[in-house]
Chain A
Amino acid sequence: MKLTLGNVSRPGESPVNETGSWRTSNKPRFLQQNCIACDMCALHCPEGCIYGEEENTYINDERYCKGCGICAWICPKDDIEMIPEVAEDD
């Protein structure tokens, strides 16, 4: 890794840090049943890790999702629920 003069950094570096590893208790499950593609979940995600196009296509990027639960709280159609984080071998 090169150290620049004055520690100048560049855009798009932070994704190297996969904050999804922070989750210990809950994570969102996107039911994709009654979703109206209002985009509220995506707009309210502090990580910016929710993506979607049309109805019932919205999903989070688990590499970065910290499990805060704001998306589940804000969804007007209750189409996101918080479920326990399970270990990989369960």
Chain B
Amino acid sequence: MTRQMLQGCRAISEMVTLCRPQVVSAYPITPQTVIVEELAQIVADGRLKAEFVNVEGEHSAASTVLGASAAGVRVFTATSSQGLLLMAEVVFNIAGMRLPVVMVNANRSVSAPLNIWNDQQDSMAVRDSGWVQLYAENNQEACDLILQAYKIAEDHRVMLPVMVCVDGFVLPHAYEMVDLPDQEDVDAFLPPFAPMYRLDPANPLTLGAYAEPDKYMETRYMLQETLRATLPIIEEVARDFSKSFGRPAHGAFEAYRLGDASTVVVAMGSMAGTIKEVVDELREKGQKVGLLRLIAFRPLPAAALYDALKNARDIVVLEKAVSLGNSGPLATELRALFQGRPASPGIDGFVIGLGGRDVTMEDIRGAVSKAQEGAVDAEFVHLREDLELEGVNA
């Protein structure tokens, strides 16, 4: 185990290297590019024996790893924002074809307008694709989740792709003390990829057959059931990880000072770090506030979330995304899981930090107060008052 001060992209690329993918394919897009550049250097130096395929676009990057995975090798790709949207068709395809691709998505806003900075609208846009989606708080966790991602994806009970989401710029570009495991320990935790089906003349198979109405629904049902069944596997892998590497792995979510909390903030990703500061501050003042940091957005750990949140009076959802025309996706899904059940906390939704706007402690405090006062839905936090918005207020 080496503990060193590393830039996020470097840590992530080193972790990917330890996982031994044999085909890597990606296309440059800010703020993911730095990860791929680090990997390119690692391959060029012979430290990772992989085919590094510089494709002509993200649709092809995803397609290349799809083909390589179908041919039976472990793969890796990374993207952000417009790239993820461009490859969206392939993203759905990979899940439907049950290929255990692992991707790092450096969360970034979506165009238009063009904006290269962090929010989570991109990965939210593909939440229906059938991928497992895990959100990291910091670079250590990003690395840990990548290793767990391969283990989850390649489990024969799963055989689904996994997306590890890291807030763009905030994580890949920031420096952090990171523990990187040794190769032998990684190999012990993650054995070589053993596909269930692969392209091989010795055993010819037809992959990607089409399904008529008499079979399509059942195939999608299989995906749904498998994703549900992946929830205990996420916990299992997290426990194994903790045991093997002596570091906490939280599984589907992290409960921070949640036990007796009457106000619970729910959020994903790096802003949880700032939220924890506010939680501590409010606790000092005697408020019973806690944080539920959701790690697995897909599959959604609905039952466990209900149990963890049922005693709260107010749930304050802070999310870096919005489903335009309705509400925040996370807030919407949380409301749904309380439907028809005994507990009925007030669930208030806030849209925060879009396009790289800083999430400040003041913003968080403000949101918590507002939520405690009354019902709030899809409220955009701290909009600038000095701007006139044509068609809205001007």
Contacts and interface: CB of A to CB of B under 8 A. Distances in A.
Contacts of A10: 204-206
Given A5-B197, A6-B98, A6-B99, A11 B206 contact: yes
A5 B197 CA distance: 9
B196 A5 contact: yes
Contacts of A6: 96-99, 159, 197, 207-208
Contacts of B209: 7-9
Contacts of A8: 197, 205-207, 209
B196 A7 contact: no
Interface in B327-364: none
Q: Interface residue tally of chain B, by bracket?
A: 10 to 19
A5 B222 contact: yes
Contact of A7 (B99, B159, B204, B208): B208
B4 interface: no
Contacts, number: 39
Nearest to A9: B206
B188 interface: no
B219 A7 contact: yes
Contacts of A11: 204-206
A3 interface: yes
A6 B210 CA distance: 10
Interface string A8-28: 111100000000000000000
A56 to B, nearest CB: 35
Contact of A3 (B97, B204, B206, B215): B215
Secondary structure type dominating chain B contacts: loop
Interface string B204-246: 1111111100010011001000000000000000000000000
Interface in A29-84: none
A4 B173 CA distance: 42
A9 B197 CA distance: 10
Nearest to B70: A6
Contacts of B99: 6
Q: Which of A4, A6, A8, A10 has the most CB of B within 10 A?
A: A6
A3 B207 contact: no
A6 B97 CA distance: 4
A17 to B, nearest CB: 13
A9 B210 CA distance: 10
A68 B233 CA distance: 55
Interface in B157-201: 159, 196-197
A10 B200 CA distance: 12
A5 B98 contact: yes
Contacts of B211: 7
Interface of B: 96-99, 159, 196-197, 204-211, 215, 218-219, 222
Given A6-B96, A7-B219, 11 more contacts: A4-B197, A5-B98, A5-B222, A6-B99, A6-B207, A7-B209, A7-B215, A8-B197, A8-B206, A8-B207, A8-B209
16 contacts: A3-B222, A4-B197, A5-B159, A5-B196, A6-B97, A6-B159, A6-B197, A7-B211, A7-B215, A8-B207, A9-B206, A10-B204, A10-B205, A10-B206, A11-B205, A11-B206
7 smallest CB-CB distances across A and B, nearest first, come from A6-B98, A9-B206, A9-B209, A6-B97, A5-B98, A8-B197, A7-B209
